[in-house]
Chain A
Amino acid sequence: MNKLGLRTYSGLPVSVGEDSRWVLAFLRQHRESPHDAVDVAYMGLIADWLGNALHQSAQKELLQRIALTDPLTGLPTGARPRSDCKSERARTPRDGHGFALALVDLDHFKMVNDRYGHAVGDEVLKAAARRFESGMREGDWVARWGGEEFLFVLHGSTVEEAASVMERLASQAVRRRSRPVLAPFP
């Protein structure tokens, strides 16, 4: 501290929600009088602002962690598909039939993001989500498992049936792929 020429110190508590473990330190090079009233008021404002900002970002993170619907695709996400899987499992003996799970990962998604940007990547995810949802039977569901992964639950399906549902979705994906239009050159 001395090396840097810092001679006075003021510490203000910073409250982040209920948590006040934090101290914001102001260091000064002057040796004269401690901070005056205006300085103290400014430091108080800065400490409050910092506390609020930290609190907000902590709350936002918490909300995202417990968020049950993906804002991008509108599909269930996070803890919800995981707990829904457990409920499906619990229902199995009562329903008298099992179910199939399918985990889908979009091919070369990272490349799309890198080459065309995240806005295009987001559109790809939204389009995939819409296509998957419209291909579902009543009662079956699809969730955004994370990143470019989607989880499908198909009731009363054997693994072969589920595989053919997925094959059908995959073939639609290929058929809908846009092709270059060949037009005569003027």
Chain B
Amino acid sequence: MSFSAGVAAFGVNDSEILPMLEKIDHALYRAKADGRDQVRMAAQSSVS
């Protein structure tokens, strides 16, 4: 069985966990929308 994944990194300068969870959720949504069975990286935050 295949899976789709959204991935994001939490840097030393990041402070809030909630926006991270939203990012991976969004990345996962894109992986699903683009046909599933793939890994999508969340956009990196511009301030890190």
Contact = CB atoms under 8 A, between A and B. Distances in A.
A88 to B, nearest CB: 8
Interface residues of B, number: 30
Ordered nearest first, which 6 A-B pairs have the shortest CB separation? A159-B9, A103-B24, A98-B11, A107-B36, A100-B9, A166-B5
B25 A103 contact: yes
Interface in B4-45: 4-12, 14-17, 20-21, 24-25, 27-28, 32, 36-39, 41-42, 44
A96 B13 CA distance: 10
Given A98-B11, A103-B28, A159-B9, A173 B3 contact: yes
Contacts of B42: 159
Given A86-B17, A102-B5, A97 B41 contact: no
Nearest to A171: B2
B4 A105 contact: yes
Given A97-B12, A101-B24, A163 B7 contact: yes
B1 interface: yes
Contacts, number: 105
Interface string A79-114: 000000110110011001111111111111100100
Nearest to A102: B7
Contact of A173 (B1, B17, B38): B1
A167 interface: yes
A23 B42 CA distance: 54
Interface in A167-186: 167, 169-170, 173-174, 177
A106 B37 contact: no
A107 B9 contact: no
Given A160-B41, A166-B39, A100 B3 contact: no
Interface string A103-127: 1111111001000000000001000
19 contacts: A85-B21, A96-B12, A97-B12, A98-B9, A100-B7, A101-B8, A101-B10, A104-B3, A104-B5, A105-B5, A106-B1, A107-B4, A108-B36, A158-B9, A163-B5, A163-B39, A169-B3, A170-B39, A173-B1
